[in-house]
Amino acid sequence: MQALLLIHAFPLNRRMWDPQIAALKSEFEVIAPDIRGFGEYQPPSPWTMDEMADDLRTMLDSLGIQTCTVAGVSMGGYIALAFWSKYPERISRLVLANTRARADNETEKNARNEMIAAIQQNGTAILPDRMLPRLLRPNAPHDVLLAVRKMIEEASDSAATYAVMAMRDRVDFSTSLHRINFPTMVVTGADDVIIRAEDSRALADAIPGSRFITIPGSGHLSNLENPEEFNRALLGFLRL
Ligand code: MLT
């Protein structure tokens, strides 16, 4: 069975992949870990994207998996690119959804610092109201809204802080994308306000031979907001 490693977004956990696990587990060995600090992977400790890549390599080693498809949504995409940069030989295919390759600019870094200060002052209770309107398209299905809210509420203050720090300090991969030499699919949400469709298009254009897919009826969390279309795109790509 082909292995498929799914890396979740911020500040969610592995449960955001439930619709993909249900649809794909009979055909693929699906691995959807909680990253450090989130979900069941406690307690948190500060980490960098590089260390997260090492965590994933250790996990694949322990499962005896040599190569796999790596798919990440948003922060999961940042981690996927860090993993690619350190361990390209472990990837057979790559899916970059609602994500970008460049590092944060100064304005974005300042916004990260403001968010860290707000979490330190008031805890992750501030996150749902700040993030939900940006993560999901307007009028997203109520059950999706509730599920995402619940995952955000479960994130601990330190996990959220460390993840924001890791995102703020991540390396810029935008000038090395031409070196990606395996099948890659870039996914965007038609209504994503965090990573705009045109930025995803530019990401796809920078990766030789990549496939570019727009998920209709979806904001930033395309795999959750329109799982039917996301799964169709993913399966089409995996069965290539
Ligand atoms: C995510 O969805 O993982 C984050 O919003 C990404 C980010 O803040 O850059």
Per-residue pLDDT for 42 more than 90?
no
Structural domain for 190, as ranges: 3-238
The pLDDT of 213-233, averaged and rounded, is: 98
224 vs 74: CA distance, rounded Å: 13
193 touches ligand 1 (CB under 6 Å): no
159 pLDDT higher than 90: yes
Token pair in block for residue 50: 């590089």
pLDDT (average), residues 60-85: 98
pLDDT of 118 reads 97
Cα 64 to averaged position of ligand 1 atoms, centre (Å) = 30
Whether 94 lines ligand 1, by a CB cut-off of 6 Å, is no
- HSE of 41 in the Cβ direction (CA atoms, 13 Å)? 19
For residue 207, what is the DSSP state? S
pLDDT at 190 (0 to 100): 97
The pLDDT-based confidence of 45 (bands split at 50, 70, 90) is confident
Domain of 188, CATH number, reads 3.40.50.1820
Q: Does residue 103 have its Cβ closer than 6 Å to ligand 1?
A: no
pLDDT score of 20: 98
The pTM of the whole model exceeds 0.75:
yes
pLDDT at 71 over 90: yes
Q: How many domains does the chain have?
A: 1
